[in-house]
């Protein structure tokens, strides 16, 4: 790059940073970090007064802060963009998914990295406003929910078949042979009895391997609240399973407690099979 080109780009970065600071004075983001973020999205463009990156530099600043999980930025994003989601959902009264569930799904999609998938917010390039970009995501999400319905599905096969039973494990082998149908039915009843939030919490933790901070972000709560909710979800599942299994087996309390003890240590394996169908929104 020529000296004049480098000078122009430096001037553009300086102006973008100044615009961002003026728009979001409460956000704390290192100028060097924002400059790198901005330069990555300016590849193939020539700095000029008409550059769209310059026009939406404040939105890029907010997106950059959101991508690193800054709580103030995440709250600012929701204040800026989520009113559009509320209006869009209000225009779709036949949706089978609640507004709160849609918010959670969008937070997961926008701000959480799952496996090798980057957070969607990292794709924002500043060529349009953040609100316009978000409106497109909302529209696609509602179309998807309207045509495909809720993403979660009940267990389709025997949960005990997921257990790694060995010939040398006679107790578990006996349990599989004698309680297969009863456990499968009870497990289906137990997971079906869970509230939507509990099912989502268990899916995030057990299937998507999200940590407490990521789960807290999705629900927009403090990490201690998310940890308490997850503990409560696990306890509720065990209560429902014990109740449903007791109704199925009709056995003496001491015998039932022994069976439940054998099952309890393997519950999470079966949980993964139940929630594996709950995928993220495209």
Sorted by where each begins, the domain ranges of the chain are 3-148, 159-275
pLDDT of residue 164: 46
Please state which of the ranges 80-89, 125-134, 259-268, 270-279 shows the lowest mean pLDDT: 270-279
SS3 of residue 114 by DSSP: strand
Tokens 């939507």 found at: 196
> What is the four-CA torsion angle of 262, 266, 268, 271, rounded to 10 degrees?
-80
pLDDT of 281 strictly over 60 = no
pTM, whole model, 2 decimals?
Answer: 0.63
Q: What is the pLDDT, as a whole number, of residue 256? A: 65
CA-based torsion, 209, 189, 158, 175: positive or negative: positive
Q: Tens digit of pLDDT for each residue in 219-233?
A: 888 889 989 988 898
Task: In whole angstroms, give the CA distance from residue 150 to residue 3.
Answer: 56
Tokens of 64: 């950059």
> Tens digit of pLDDT for each residue in 164-179?
444 455 655 666 666 6
pLDDT for position 97: 84
Q: What is the pLDDT of residue 26?
A: 92
Residue 94 scores a pLDDT above 50: yes
């Amino acid at each position: 790059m020529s000296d004049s080109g480098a000078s122009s780009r430096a001037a553009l970065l300086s102006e973008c940073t100044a615009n961002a600071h003026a728009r979001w004075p409460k956000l704390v983001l290192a100028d060097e970090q924002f400059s790198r973020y901005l330069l990555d999205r300016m590849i193939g463009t020539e700095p000029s007064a008409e550059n769209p990156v310059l026009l939406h530099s404040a939105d890029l600043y907010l997106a950059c802060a959101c991508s690193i999980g800054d709580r103030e930025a995440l709250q600012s994003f929701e204040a800026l963009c989520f009113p559009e989601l509320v209006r869009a959902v209000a225009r779709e009264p036949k949706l089978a998914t609640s507004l709160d569930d849609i918010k959670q799904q969008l937070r997961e999609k926008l701000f959480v990295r799952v496996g090798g998938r980057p957070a969607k917010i990292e794709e924002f390039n500043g060529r349009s406003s953040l609100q316009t970009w978000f409106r497109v995501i909302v529209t696609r999400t509602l179309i998807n929910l309207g045509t495909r319905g809720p993403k979660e599905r009940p267990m389709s096969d025997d949960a005990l078949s997921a257990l790694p039973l060995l010939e040398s494990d006679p107790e578990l082998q006996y349990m599989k042979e004698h309680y297969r149908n009863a456990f499968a039915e009870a497990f289906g009843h137990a997971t079906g009895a869970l509230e939507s939030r509990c099912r989502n919490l268990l899916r995030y933790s057990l299937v998507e391997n999200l940590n407490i901070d990521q789960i807290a972000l999705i629900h927009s709560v403090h990490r201690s609240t998310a940890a308490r909710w997850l503990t409560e979800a696990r306890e509720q599942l065990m209560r429902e399973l014990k109740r449903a299994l007791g109704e199925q087996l009709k056995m003496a309390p001491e015998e039932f407690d022994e069976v439940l003890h054998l099952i309890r240590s393997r519950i999470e394996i079966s949980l993964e099979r139940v929630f594996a169908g709950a995928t993220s929104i495209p």
